[in-house]
Chains A and B, each alone.
Chain A
Amino acid sequence: MKEIMQKMRAEAARVLSSGEVDLVLGWEKGDLWWQSYPVFIENEKKAELLTWDLFCVPNLAKYLLEEIWHKKRVALFFKGCDALGFNQLMQDKRVDREKAFIFAVPCSGLVDPQKVERAGLHQGLLRVERLGDELTFVYKDREKKTAAPWFYYDKCLTCRYPNPVVFDFMLGEPVPVNPRERFTAVKELEGQNVDARFQYWQRQFSRCIRCFACRNVCPACSCRECIFDLTSPRWLGKATELSENQFYHITRAFHMAGRCVDCGECARVCPVQIPLTSLNRKLIKDIDELYGPYDAGVDPQKVPPLVTFNPGDPAAFLESKGV
């Protein structure tokens, strides 16, 4: 990763000094081990701030909405999942491909701080390093080595596009693609009866504090005016009543149908761990089964199944059989 980080810094300095772009979007290291956050670099001398480590998880694509609006040309770094989100923004005609210069960073998985904490490895931790498939947890006076996949985000373990599908310049070599089955949790839920499923989701949604972080971070949520922000009429009240929480989640899930790129950002940012991935993947799975396999964000030229009509499309909902 260090080698790629050096290249990142060099490339960022190059595109800024040549005037190819006005801004570079990357990640910067914070004071604590899990902190790697988006950084905005306009001066080549600041390129040294860039980092590439096991915690560079925030997707940078959505910041383009604001920056391109300010007529900036922007260079930015994409992992596999980030590139899918960018393509969705393209498909929604919200970003201009010409304005973005994309560096691809093939990604073999990032570390989920919550998994580190659950394993009790967080106290006194200074940093985490990776060599091959092995992680080293570094403390003041000791080190601990373990197998890396144990600590990867679930979304990384099931990732099918770790090599960015859109880019101008590739940093590093493509990584092998070896995803685990992603519908396990959905299938488990599908196996339960309606009451059990309803109860499950009620319990989840009752925890929602309606911070809208899931929406704000989502590359498929790019409406200029969001229905949930409207004040007149106010479709969604501000009280976190269960029925209102359900209204929020069901509406958002439907808006995501055929558009969610399964990047997992919404589930990552949720402070109360609502399993949004299961909700989104249920819709992905249903669409796959009804209209044939489709992966949002892979090819922005492809026509998404829900914006087109084919006379042969199944229409179970017309037969009122229920689900």
Chain B
Amino acid sequence: MQEIQKARLPQLWEYLAKKAPLYLPQQEDGVINFAPWQEGARVKLESLNTVLPPKSIVFPQWETYLHFTQKARELKLTPTKEPEGSYILFGVRPCDVAGITVLDRVFLQDPVDVFYESRRRCTIISLACNEPDISCFCSAFGLEPGFAPAADIMLWDGDKFLLWQSLTEKGETLTHSLTDLLEVPTPAETESVQCLRETAATVQEQKWGLDGVKERAKDMFNAPIWDSLYRRCLGCGICTYLCPTCHCFDIGDFSRGERGERFRCWDSCMYKDFTLMASGENPRPTQKERVRQRFMHKLSYFPAQHGLYGCVGCGRCVRKCPVNIDITQVIKEAGGSISCA
């Protein structure tokens, strides 16, 4: 294990940014999101979750994958080359690292999504949470606020310094290149990691038991809860766009005259047109079916297909839904037990 003094972080970022594009949480107009580091960047490591998850970097809201020209009867297609080169995600919270693992299940399975695959060649440096928010519930899914097993490097906030541990070969290589900046922590500092991990886990106020939830969720298709939830839903899809695991997309064209491009972009099961057929038929005709789909997908269909929940408990939808539609209420309805610390 190593450590870096917080005072030296700007130096570290400058160095890293020279090696590869470096994304970290930054504040602009009061909003904190992952953005590329530049000189003078307003980095906000201490804030918990960014508004948009780092999903927006590995799976951007929209990207062009094909250019086309059409002259008379001749159609010419030019596929966009997949993005090249690696980059670094710095300060990703453990739930968001787990979110990327969920996306991997979708995009890296056969047929592999080459755009996602190439963006996934990034190095993830995760920052443990010392003090999870009241709306965080990652531990419900067996995740740990103080540790992200799928990250390349793990950091813990020790107030004046960050403790630094590489978890993968990629992480190790990067760590080796930083000998000038990293130091050896004292044994007491190294030990404090265990303590930070334990405290973070206990600070998370709600202790969840999810035994049998995915099995019970399977039988919730006709449950009365959907009737009481959907009527207030605005159908805005904030809950899906901000979710680190939601991955549905749509395909569209920009075209002007003979030329155009085809792109894919995030879509949301909360939207009326999501399941709208060309014939005008819509198998999810009201907001009730759409709200049900979102929760059933996360708690039943996704686990059935992939063996893990489609929610990592980041709490973004809980915090940002304008009418407080709260997934933890659905989990409780499905038999999730909860006790307060």
Chain A interface (Cβ within 8 Å of chain B)? 30-40, 58, 63, 66, 122-125, 203-204, 207, 209, 211-213, 216-217, 229, 231, 234, 237-241, 268-269, 271-273, 275
How many residue pairs between the two chains, A and B, have CB atoms under 8 Å in the bound complex?
A: 107
- The CA-CA distance from A56 to B219 in the complex, in Å, is 33
> How near does chain B come to A299, taking the closest CB pair, in angstroms?
28
**5 nearest interchain CB pairs?**
A213-B236, A269-B322, A239-B62, A37-B324, A35-B324
Q: Is the CB of B29 within 8 A of A204?
A: yes
Q: Tell me which residues across on chain B come within 8 A of A216, comparing CB atoms.
A: 234-236
Checking B235, B253, B265, B273 against A240 with a beta-carbon cut-off of 8 angstroms, the contacting residue is B265
Of the stretches B72-80, B111-119, B237-245, the one at the interface is B237-245
A sample of 12 more A-B contacts (CB under 8 A), given A38-B231, A238-B62, A269-B234, is A30-B324, A31-B326, A36-B324, A58-B232, A203-B28, A237-B254, A238-B250, A239-B265, A240-B61, A268-B322, A269-B236, A269-B238
Contacts of B187 in A (CB 8 A): none
A40 and B231: CB pair below 8 A?
A: yes
- Show 6 residue pairs from A and B whose CB-CB distance is below 8 angstroms, ordered by the A residue: A207-B33, A213-B236, A238-B62, A239-B61, A239-B265, A272-B33
List, in ascending order, chain B residues with CB within 8 A of A237's CB: 252-254
Complex Cα–Cα for A217 and B235 (A): 10
B interface bracket (residues with beta carbon within 8 Å of A): 35 or more
Which of A125, A203, A275 lies in contact with B134, CB distance below 8 A? A125
- Pairwise interchain contact A239-B263, C-beta atoms closer than 8 A: yes
The verdict on A122 contacting B232 (CB below 8 Å), with A231-B273, A238-B62 known, is: no
Give Cα A241 to B263, complex, Å.
11
B250–A32 touching, CB < 8 Å: no
Contact call B31/A207, Cβ cutoff below 8 A: yes
B residues touching A (Cβ–Cβ < 8 Å)? 28-31, 33, 51-52, 61-62, 131, 133-135, 205, 228, 231-232, 234-238, 241-242, 250, 252-254, 263, 265, 267, 272-273, 318, 320, 322-326, 328-329
Instruction: Considering the complex, give the chain B residue whose CB is closest to the CB of A67.
Output: B231
Residues B329 and A238 in contact, CB atoms below 8 Å apart: no
Q: Which residues of chain A are within 8 angstroms of B325 by Cβ–Cβ distance?
A: 37
B307 to chain A, nearest CB (A): 29
Q: Is the CB of B232 within 8 A of A63?
A: yes
User: Could you tell me the distance in whole angstroms from the C-beta of B168 to the nearest C-beta in chain A?
Assistant: 32
Q: Is the CB of B252 within 8 A of A122?
A: no
Q: Given that A32-B135, A122-B134, A209-B241 are known contacts, is A39 also in contact with B232, CB under 8 Å in the complex?
A: yes
